[in-house]
Amino acid sequence: MTRVTTLPSWLLSQTAAAAYRLVSEGLAEVGARGYHYRLLAELMESGPASQAELGRRTGIHLSDMVAALNELTDGGYVRRSPDPADRRRNVVTITPAGRRRAGDLAHRVGEIQDELLAPLNAKERAELVRLLGALLDHHRPAVDQPGLR
């Protein structure tokens, strides 16, 4: 190995690129994108929210948020309706079809994680998640879009 290929930053960036590819390709196989899963999972966990609030909670930029919500709305997975407290805002709500889709995508994402982490046993996977979480927590202010793309 060269000096570069043993640098943690190089290893992380190469692994992140592989993870991004696996997630993108794996979700594309079922007609989805990472943003779809992030939004549906967040709506399942935290309930209805404005588009701006969803952006803050998921780390998805507003321009990407609008496109992803348009796709999810077209698929019948979310519904946007005027906020009764502020009619200038839309509230996004997951539909029953969206709940089913979130479950299907969660299963697919689990398969992708298994593929990504195939060389590691369960204990090593848990340790990797713990270590990556510690790094992310330390650097979070510098991170623009955390989580699954």
- DSSP secondary structure code for residue 13 in this structure: H
Task: Give the residue extent of every domain in the chain.
Answer: 33-141
Could you tell me which of 63, 80, 61, 68 has the C-alpha nearest to residue 39? 68
pTM of the model: 0.85
Percent of the chain with pLDDT over 90: 79
Burial class (CB in 10 A: 0-12, 13-18, 19+), 145: middle
CA distance 7 to 134: 18
d(CA 27, CA 36): 9
User: Average pLDDT of 76-86?
Assistant: 91
CA-nearest of 91, 104, 90 to 36 is: 104
Class of domain 33-141: mainly alpha
Res. 145: pLDDT tops 70: no
Nearest to 27 by CA among 113, 85, 90, 146: 113
Residue 142: pLDDT band by 50, 70, 90 thresholds?
A: low
Q: Is 123 exposed, middle or buried (0-12, 13-18, 19+ CB in 10 A)?
A: exposed
Residue 1's pLDDT band, with cuts at 50, 70 and 90, is low
Helix (H) or strand (E) run with residue 111 in it: helix 96-116
- What are the residues whose beta carbons fall under 8 Å from the beta carbon of 91, sequence distance 6 or more? 48, 49, 50, 80, 81, 82, 83
Give the type of residue at 96: P
Is pLDDT of 87 > 90?
no
**What are the pLDDT digits (tens) for 7-60?**
999 999 999 999 999 999 999 999 999 999 999 999 999 999 999 899 999 999
